[in-house]
Amino acid sequence: MIAIRQEISEIEAGKADPENNVMRNAPHTHHLLLEGDWSRPYSREQAYFPLHTLREDKYWPPVGRVDNVHGDRHFVCSCPPMEAYGEAAE
């Protein structure tokens, strides 16, 4: 969390591009790491190993950012109404 806050601070201070930065492009898949060209304004090391401890035990996300967030922003509960729980308890 501290490292994430530092990345946010870099954006706020104008040290990182607000549109093309580590936060906006995360997560970085292993496929990008293996590609020859790196066209990002930050280093591969900053993208893949922001913490030194990640060199020992790194989780590689299978996919990049998912842009379809409709379900996350428009939560729909398909549960029975609360009254149904009261009837079941009786």
Instruction: Give tens-digit pLDDT for 2-36.
Output: 888 988 999 999 999 999 998 888 888 888 878 77
Evaluate whether 30 touches 23 at the Cβ level (below 8 Å). Answer: no
- Measured at the CA of 47, the angle between CA 12 and CA 30, to 5 degrees, comes to 150
Residues 6+ apart with CB under 8 A from 42: 16, 21, 22
Q: Give the span between the Cα atoms of 11 and 17, in whole angstroms.
A: 6
Q: Which amino acid is at 70?
A: H
Neighbours of 78 (CB within 10 A): 4
Quick check: pTM over 0.85? no
pLDDT value at position 25?
Answer: 85
